[in-house]
Amino acid sequence: MRRLREVYRSAGWPCCDAIEVDLLAAGLLERVRSALGHETVRLSDAGLARLAGALAGNRSAMSAHEALVEQVAREMTRGGRIAWRGLSLRARLPPLAPDGPARWCIARPDVFSIRNTTVEAYAHPVVHEVKVTRADLLGDLRRPDKRAAYLDLGGECWYVLGNDARGRPIGGIEDVPAECGVMLLDGSRLTVARAAVHRAVERIPFGVWMSLAKAQPVSGFDEETQQWLTGPPA
């Protein structure tokens, strides 16, 4: 699919490699010779249909992912937390050698939340990573640095696993490392399959605070708590 997208967006100059041979043999690409004898490749009707089908599947997966991210963020706000989606946060990674320098990376957790508190030591930052396809989950688990970045940012790291087309969970606690919690989607509810290992976080890095200050938290938290300023509801 990646090569089909590249050919569709390009002038069609041939790569002359094994992938192109396979796509030509499958009828997804076709060769075109110009009046000057130059040969290019372009998508056949079958190739265009295959690419359109893949794009539709990607959009469906993205819609399911965004819906589950929204649900997790709302659950955090209902629990008295302030939640953000789509942040880019600088995280510290362990050194490659025992005496080596620390490494840094940019982490993008699906949901990052803290307690609604004025005491930094009580903020209890938590990271939620949402997965709606098993391929995405397994690909993520093969990236230990990404998981280490989430563990650096949060006192807890959770994997939230959606369901496949048949309504079955895309994974379970046996797929996720023990230091991370696991949530499963049961119908329309989120259930805890395994609690995350909790680490006390006494201080949130200044760079993270700056990112939170510049980002817009999930709406709904202020509206839901504003009523308590004038007393509890009747």
pLDDT over 90 at 107, yes or no: yes
Of residues 24 and 188, which shows the higher confidence score?
Answer: 24
Helix (H) or strand (E) segment spanning residue 65 = helix 45-78
pLDDT over 80 at 86, yes or no: yes
Note the pLDDT of residue 114.
96
Give me 154's structure tokens. 């949060």
- Nearest-angstrom CA–CA distance, 162 and 233: 35
9-27 pLDDT tens trace: 998 999 999 999 999 999 9
Note the pLDDT of residue 220.
64
143-171 pLDDT tens trace: 999 999 999 999 999 999 999 888 899 99
pLDDT band at 225 (very low <50, low <70, confident <90, very high): very low
CA within 13 Å, CB half, 41: 25
For the chain, what's the residue count? 234
Residues paired with residue 103 on neighbouring β-strands, in sequence order: 93
Note the pLDDT of residue 232.
52
Q: Identify the burial level of 51 via C-beta atoms within 10 angstroms of its C-beta, where 0-12 means exposed, 13-18 middle and 19 or more buried.
A: middle
Note the pLDDT of residue 55.
80
What is the pTM assigned to this prediction?
0.69
Percent helix, strand, coil in the chain, to 5, is 40, 25, 40
End-to-end CA distance of the chain: 58
- Nearest-angstrom CA–CA distance, 127 and 140: 15
pLDDT over 80 at 88, yes or no: yes
DSSP string, 98-155: TTSPPEEEEE--SEEEEES-S-GGG---EEEEEE-SHHHHHHHHT-HHHHHHHHHH-S
User: Where do you find CATH 3.40.1350 in the chain?
Assistant: 62-216
Note the pLDDT of residue 56.
77
Q: Which CATH fold topology does 62-216 show?
A: Trna Endonuclease; Chain: A, domain 1 (3.40.1350)
Phi, psi of 145 (to 5 degrees): -65, -35
- Nearest-angstrom CA–CA distance, 18 and 162: 36
pLDDT over 50 at 227, yes or no: no
